[in-house]
Amino acid sequence: MAVFTALDEDELAAFLQAYGLSSDATRTPLEGGVSNSNWCLDFGILSPALVLTVIEPPIARSELDFVFAFQRHLDAKGLPLAAPLGRSDGSLWGTLAGKPALLSPFLPGTVAVAPDSRQAGQMGELLARMHLDAADFTPRRSNPMGLPDMAAIVRRLDPLAIETAVPGLAADLASAFSEALDDWPQGLPAGAVHCDLFPDNVLFAGPRLSGAIDFYFSCTAPFAYDLAMTHAAWCFTPGDSVFREDVSAALLDAYARSRALSSGERAALPLLARVACLRILATRLRDWISPPEGASVTAKHPAEFAQRLRFYSGDRGARAFAP
Amino acid sequence: MAVFTALDEDELAAFLQAYGLSSDATRTPLEGGVSNSNWCLDFGILSPALVLTVIEPPIARSELDFVFAFQRHLDAKGLPLAAPLGRSDGSLWGTLAGKPALLSPFLPGTVAVAPDSRQAGQMGELLARMHLDAADFTPRRSNPMGLPDMAAIVRRLDPLAIETAVPGLAADLASAFSEALDDWPQGLPAGAVHCDLFPDNVLFAGPRLSGAIDFYFSCTAPFAYDLAMTHAAWCFTPGDSVFREDVSAALLDAYARSRALSSGERAALPLLARVACLRILATRLRDWISPPEGASVTAKHPAEFAQRLRFYSGDRGARAFAP
């Protein structure tokens, strides 16, 4: 349940007025979402339903402009997502309860808990289109969770606590970090990417991908890194992290049909997938070992991505990305 | 599962070409639906998903024009539904496997198995808007399941079989039919109505009504009859048919906020609701007592609507419709 902020009716009315909207809407809290508060606003059967989002920390306000502009850019290209609506003064967000707040169209759909190859194919196509469409998007944002950031998080953790959480992981982390820092591929095609396309952030309405959400980690990074991150997030069974070759093939084939991968990108994918695992492991280990104060969301166990890191370090991981 | 017709690829390609569409679509059979075959057609992430419907008997082809024109009329007014797409030659349907076939937009959403008052409020608003918007829709179609039709179905059933299915029902049916035939209210406002707005025919995407489907029973009838039919379908718990006063109030209040009910309509509602129960009872009894050959759908037991008929014959039924 993701409603952390109480709304003041007068303040909400003023907020909606900035969009030219009346406050005469039915309001339903929306479940899901890890850190923001979301409500569905319904203005009657003839008007499109909207989602009101109040952004909770930690994203800096200065970074929201990049995130929202990127969504508007992709929306203008016809990609399925819920881009923030513009206000009467042209801005894309306002303030509620002292926090950034925005309206976007309500996207119908539910997440695919264990995506199948058909769903992964749609994901691959969307990801490739996003990367192609990023070509003429010029704003830049450095990765808020880049290699130095993850390494800093892991360095602050007690190695004994890491070993207790996942035996053998401390050594795996050390070697993966040193390899990534030494061998990080230079010169790969880069641009604005989503960088957090977990199955929880993609909605399906029936058999059909209805949209990507939660662009708050979007930043400027190699496209292949975004693909590797999506691969690490989609191509394993939830819980026991068994590799799903059919899902992997569907994701990569659909991607490559829309955007060809260079040989440099193909060669970099196993390492980039290991870095994607490191990125998830860093925050999951941190939240597992020292849960954030007042956390209402159950911490996810780091073991899942420890297994995926090992997968991408072996032969099968390398073969997964072969053409 | 509602796919009764196999598709020939060449014939399908020609069918799609009549819409200016390529046959390069992913095809997923859609579940649900009682009698037609439905597939979701996906032409890629940048194109809207479509639904291909092959109409199975018994609807006459001559009646499809009314049904589809009514949907287009409501769609043009902005109501949420999936109106048939037009073909290059302006027609609204073609033929596949010798049966009428059409394309319509894919409507995301799922049915509300046990609608709550919030959902019933949205239903009431939609129903009132449909009735208001029917004002300037001039085609006419007589009710394919009017009072004489239902009476004829019941007359052909063995009274003993009716009594075995639901003890006491034969007498209730006889008195309800004779009352309805004698007292059918004349002069009520009438026009094109859906006449089959069961919860299975209304989709919700999250908290939001996303559209009405299955207009094959739509016809010219009193608006109050459509409201009474919807009331009988929505305002009882599934299975044990306990009256839900909150759902009833939400449906009727939302309806009346958009379209005021005349005193004549209010007074007629209990009788019209009994007729709605008779209509459902007639077909459910027939299918229960002598299931159609090759029926793949489990017949629904008539007891539910026998209870609702009794409810609408008593004081509580009358009170449900009081202003």
CATH of the domain at B35: 3.30.200.20
Residues B117 and B263 in one domain: yes
Encode pLDDT of A39-92 as tens digits.
999 999 889 999 999 998 777 877 899 999 999 999 999 999 999 999 999 999
Residues A200 and A99 in one domain: no
- Show residues of chain A in contact with B24, CB under 8 Å: none
**Inter-chain touch B28–A207, beta carbons under 8 Å:** yes
- List of chain A residues with pLDDT < 70: 1-4, 32-34, 294-298
Tokens 């009101």 correspond to what residue?
A: A52
Asked if residue A2 is part of any domain, the answer here is no
Of B26, B45, B209, nearest to A129 by CB-CB distance is B45
Q: Is the pLDDT of residue B190 over 60?
A: yes
Residues A150 and A63 in one domain: no
Residues A94 and A151 in one domain: no
CATH number of domain containing B225: 3.90.1200.10
Encode pLDDT of B33-43 as tens digits.
667 899 999 99
Tokens at A182, concatenated: 């030494």
**Inter-chain touch A45–B122, beta carbons under 8 Å:** yes
Asked if residue A151 is part of any domain, the answer here is yes
Amino acid at position B317, single letter: G
Tokens 């959480």 correspond to what residue?
A: A165
Of B26, B108, B208, nearest to A205 by CB-CB distance is B108
Mean pLDDT to the nearest integer, B231-251: 96
Residues B152 and B218 in one domain: yes
Residue A33 pLDDT: 60
**Inter-chain touch A122–B45, beta carbons under 8 Å:** yes
Mutate to test the interface with A, among B26, B38, B45 (most CBs of A within 10 A): B45
Rounded CA-CA distance A262/A183 in Å is 18
**Inter-chain touch B118–A49, beta carbons under 8 Å:** no
Asked if residue B201 is part of any domain, the answer here is yes
Domain boundary among B43, B73, B106: B106
Mean pLDDT to the nearest integer, B93-107: 94
Mutate to test the interface with A, among B111, B208, B259 (most CBs of A within 10 A): B208
Residues A89 and A121 in one domain: no
Size of interface A-B (CB pairs under 8 A): 72
Beta bridge pairs of residue B40: B28, B51
Residues A180 and A55 in one domain: no
Residues A28 and A51 in one domain: yes
Residues B162 and B51 in one domain: no
Tokens at A313, concatenated: 């370090």
Of B78, B109, B208, nearest to A42 by CB-CB distance is B208
Tokens at A65, concatenated: 């402009």
Q: Is the pLDDT of residue B295 over 70?
A: no
- Show residues of chain A in contact with B125, CB under 8 Å: 44-45
Residue A123 pLDDT: 98
Using a CB–CB cut-off of 8 Å, the residues of A that contact B are 26, 28, 30, 40, 42, 44-46, 49, 78-80, 106, 108-109, 118, 122, 125-126, 129, 205-210
What percent of chain B has pLDDT above 90? 84
- Nearest-Cα residue of chain A relative to residue B45: A126
Residues B83 and B156 in one domain: no
What H or E segment, with its residue span, contains residue A210? Answer: strand A208-212
Rounded CA-CA distance B245/B61 in Å is 40
Residues B73 and B172 in one domain: no
Asked if residue B229 is part of any domain, the answer here is yes
On whether the CB atoms of residues B126 and B234 are closer than 8 A, the answer is no
Residue A133: count of CB within 10 angstroms of its CB: 19
- Show residues of chain A in contact with B26, CB under 8 Å: 118
Mutate to test the interface with B, among A30, A45, A107, A130 (most CBs of B within 10 A): A45
Give the model's confidence band at B285: pLDDT under 50 very low, under 70 low, under 90 confident, else very high.
very high
Residue B299 pLDDT: 77
Query: What is the number of domains present in chain B?
Result: 2
From B112's Cα to the closest Cα of chain A, the distance in A is: 15
Give the model's confidence band at B1: pLDDT under 50 very low, under 70 low, under 90 confident, else very high.
very low
Region of residue A230 (phi > 0: left; psi between -120 and 50: alpha; otherwise: beta): alpha
- The residues, any chain, with a CB within 8 Å of residue B168's CB and separated by 6 or more, are B306
Owning domain of residue A45: 9-106
Q: Higher confidence at residue B297 or residue A151? A: A151
Asked if residue B165 is part of any domain, the answer here is yes
Residue A32 pLDDT: 66
Encode pLDDT of B63-83 as tens digits.
999 999 999 999 999 999 999
Residue A206: count of CB within 10 angstroms of its CB: 21
Q: Which strands make up the sheet holding A110-111, listed edge to edge? A: A110-111, A202-205, A208-212
Tokens at B146, concatenated: 């009017």
Domain boundary among A106, A121, A149: A106
Asked if residue B3 is part of any domain, the answer here is no
What H or E segment, with its residue span, contains residue A159? Answer: helix A159-165
Of A28, A45, A118, nearest to B209 by CB-CB distance is A45
- Nearest-Cα residue of chain A relative to residue B204: A108
Give the model's confidence band at B32: pLDDT under 50 very low, under 70 low, under 90 confident, else very high.
low
Domain boundary among A59, A74, A106: A106
From A126's Cα to the closest Cα of chain B, the distance in A is: 6
- What's the CA angle centered on A73, arms A31 and A66, to 5 degrees? 70
Asked if residue A4 is part of any domain, the answer here is no
Rounded CA-CA distance A169/B120 in Å is 53
Rounded CA-CA distance A255/A131 in Å is 10
Encode pLDDT of B131-140 as tens digits.
999 999 999 9
Residues A94 and A129 in one domain: no
Asked if residue B310 is part of any domain, the answer here is yes
